[in-house]
Structure 1
Amino acid sequence: MTGRSLPEGVASERENLDWWLMLPLFAIVSLYAAGIGAVLPVLPFYLREMGASPLVFGLVLATEALSQSAASPLLGQLSDRFGRKRVLLASQAVAIVSLLLLALAQSIFTVLLARFLFGFTAGNFSAAAAYAADNSSPTTRRQAIGVVNAGLGLGAIVGAGLSSILSEISLTAPIYMALALSASGVVVTAFGLKGGKVAEQAKGEADQAKISLRAITSLPVIRVLIIVMLCHFFAYGMYTSQLPIFLADRFVWNGHALGPREFSYIIAADGVINIFVQLFLLGWLGRFFPERRLIVLIFALICTGFVSAGLASTIPVLAFAVLCISTGDALAKPTYLAALSVHVPSERQGVVMGTGQALVAVTDITSPVLAGFILGLGLYGAWIGAAVAIAVIGAAIAIIRLPR
Structure 2
Amino acid sequence: MSVEMSSKNEVGAPDRLDWRLMLPLFAVVTLYAAGIGAVLPVLPFYLREMGASPFVFGLVLSTEALSQSAASPLLGQLSDRFGRKRVLLASQMVAVVSLLLLAQAQSILAVLLARFLFGFTAGNFSAAAAYAADNSSAMTRRQAIGVVNAGLGLGGTIGAGFSSILSEISLTTPIYMALALSASGVVVTTFGLNGGKVMGQGADGADREKVSLRAVTSSPVIRVLMVVMLCHFLAYGMYTSQLPIFLADRFVWNGHALGPSEFSYIIAADGVINILVQLFLLRRLGRFFSERRLIILIFALICTGFVSAGMASTIPVLAFAVLCISTGDALAKPTYLAALSVHVSSERQGVAIGTGQALVAVTDIASPVLAGFILGLGLYEAWSGVVVAIAIVGAIIAATRLPRHADPEIAVPAPPV
Alignment TM class, shorter chain as reference: over 0.9
Distance 1:348 1:401, change over 3 A: same
Residue aligning to 1:140? 140
Residue aligning to 2:5? 4
Secondary structure of 2:106's counterpart equals coil
How far does residue 206 in structure 1 lie from its aligned partner after superposition? 3.2
Residue aligning to 1:239? 239
Q: Does 1:47 align with 2:71?
A: no
Secondary structure of 1:139's counterpart equals helix
How far does residue 255 in structure 1 lie from its aligned partner after superposition? 2.4
Hey, what's the Cα distance between the residues in 2 that align with 1:238 and 1:12? Answer: 43
Residue aligning to 1:159? 159
Residue aligning to 2:269? 269
Report % sequence identity. 83
How far does residue 203 in structure 1 lie from its aligned partner after superposition? 6.2
How far does residue 197 in structure 1 lie from its aligned partner after superposition? 2.2
Residue aligning to 2:102? 102
1:200·1:208 contact (CA, 8 Å) conserved in 2? no
Hey, what's the Cα distance between the residues in 1 that align with 2:239 and 2:40? Answer: 15
Residue aligning to 2:290? 290
Cα-to-partner distance string for 1:224-260 (whole Å, 9 max, x where unaligned)? 1100000000000000000000000111123221000
1:5·1:12 contact (CA, 8 Å) conserved in 2? no
Give the 5 Å matches for 1:188-227: 188-199=188-199, 202=202, 206-227=206-227
Hey, what's the Cα distance between the residues in 1 that align with 2:360 and 2:3? Answer: 24
Give the 5 Å matches for 1:320-399: 320-399=320-399
2:101·2:110 contact (CA, 8 Å) conserved in 1? yes
Secondary structure of 1:194's counterpart equals coil
Hey, what's the Cα distance between the residues in 2 that align with 1:218 and 1:130? Answer: 20
Q: Does 1:35 align with 2:35?
A: yes
Give the 5 Å matches for 1:295-306: 295-306=295-306
Cα-to-partner distance string for 1:370-390 (whole Å, 9 max, x where unaligned)? 000001111111011100000
1:208·1:347 contact (CA, 8 Å) conserved in 2? no
RMSD, matched Cα: 1.6
Residue aligning to 1:67? 67
TM-score (norm 1): 0.97
2:37·2:267 contact (CA, 8 Å) conserved in 1? yes
Distance 1:17 1:201, change over 3 A: farther
Corresponding letter in the other structure for 1:322: V
Corresponding letter in the other structure for 1:259: G
Give the 5 Å matches for 1:113-124: 113-124=113-124
Distance 1:363 1:5, change over 3 A: closer
Secondary structure of 2:194's counterpart equals coil
Hey, what's the Cα distance between the residues in 1 that align with 2:71 and 2:85? Answer: 16
Hey, what's the Cα distance between the residues in 2 that align with 1:86 and 1:253? Answer: 46
